[in-house]
Amino acid sequence: MLSSDRVSKSFGTTLAVDELSIQVNKGEIFGLVGPDGAGKTTFLRMVCNLLDADAGTITIHDSPASRFPRERLGYMPQKFSLYGDLTISENINFFASLHSLDKKITRQRSEQMLQITGLTGFEDRLADNLSGGMKQKLALTSALMTRPELMVLDEPTYGVDPESRKEFWQILYRLNESGITILISTPYMDEAELCHRVALINSGKLVACESPAGLKKLFAQRVVEIRADIFDPYFFDSCPGVIDSSYYSRRFHLLVNNSEQLFTILKKYSLDNGFPDIKVNYISPSMEDVFAFLAEPRLPRQADDI
């Protein structure tokens, strides 16, 4: 449905998006996943024709994205603005009027969309008096008024409490089931798990594009968790057989290509340190692991607890 072919965009000397090629299929929930500054917003703005690419092309249904009818593309920007002194209904009506929807259609659709987003019953509440989660829902409701077939959401759950994030995702699933293709960006790896497929991006570049299960499969039998009183986060960095390591406070996740060498080192450490308690297990990688393994060394090391 949507295809980008080697799309690049620079701001001065900053290469925000670097030859990014992805394909989003009709009916998918497709995640653009990466840390702050990865280029997610810039890319989504180009998809929504709000920004021109320096190079490359973006097509929707095989035509340039710029020709895709605006009302069939819903966009929920990272920083959207609502009118705080207008109620939920008034905000929606205002948005609908910007798109020249007549009153009858506006009424019908807003009833329907408020139902889906769970805001029915709150129509007369001022936007200023809404919680963060409800504001996101209102922004989504407004963006849905044109009945888009592709919904682009830029970090919609950033800074929203966990319960509201969960609810928001339930809404996204409902919308997806009703036939809307979803392209969503997120810095959260737990949200990456909820997408059908994800493009991991870092420093503007595509690192991998797969289903979450497919990404994890790449690292099956290759992730070792070590629990030990080792306080040096870089302890395993130069260890032969270890390709990569992440440290989560006395817990290491290691990507290994030769566990024998690793076990030899551990044995020696054990001997040298009077047999401290060390637990070693093969584990299924988390999305955090996958991202850390694929994206390092560009990512800063995580030294805090998860």
Ligand X SMILES: Nc1ncnc2c1ncn2[C@@H]1O[C@H](COP(=O)(O)OP(=O)(O)O)[C@@H](O)[C@H]1O
Question: Which of 14, 66, 108, 258 is the binder for ligand X (CB under 6 A)?
Answer: 14
* Residue 246 binds Mg ion, judged by CB under 5 A: no
Q: Which does 232 bind (CB under 5 to 8 A by kind): Mg ion, ligand X, none?
A: none
The alpha carbon of residue 52 and the mean position of all alpha carbons in its chain are separated, in whole angstroms, by: 22
- Binding status of residue 8 toward Mg ion by CB under 5 A: no
Coil/strand/helix, residue 9 = strand
**Using an 8 Å Cβ cutoff, are 68 and 61 in contact?**
yes
- Considering only 38, 171, 183, 198, the residue that binds ligand X (CB under 6 A) is 38
Q: Is residue 41 at the binding interface for Mg ion, with CB under 5 A as the rule?
A: yes
Strand partners, 30: 183, 197
User: Mutual orientation of helices 132-144 and 88-98 as an angle, nearest 10°?
Assistant: 30
CA 66 to chain centre: 24
Contacts of 101 (CB under 8 A, 6+ apart): 109, 145, 146
240 neighbors 258 (Cβ within 8 angstroms): yes
Query: 146 or 185: whose CB is closer to Mg ion?
Result: 185
Comparison of 40 and 135: residue with beta carbon closer to Mg ion: 40
Q: Which of 34, 133, 148, 241 binds ligand X (CB under 6 A)?
A: 34
Q: How many residues touch ligand X (CB under 6 A)?
A: 11
Nearest approach, Cβ of 132 to ligand X (angstroms)? 19
Q: Identify what 34 binds: ligand X, Mg ion, none; CB under 5 to 8 Å per kind.
A: ligand X
Tell me which stretch binds Mg ion (CB under 5 A): 40-48, 158-166, 172-180, 277-285: 40-48
Structure tokens that stand for 9 in this block: 């965009």
How far apart are the C-alpha atoms of 125 and 90, rounded to whole Å? 10
Adjacency order of strands within the sheet including 55-60: 14-24, 2-11, 55-60, 63-64
User: 38 vs 53, which CB is nearer to ligand X?
Assistant: 38
* Interface region with ligand X, contact rule CB under 6 A, candidates 29-37, 91-99, 122-130, 176-184: 29-37
Positions in the binding site for Mg ion (CB under 5 A): 40-41, 78
Positions in the binding site for ligand X (CB under 6 A): 11, 14, 16, 34, 36-42
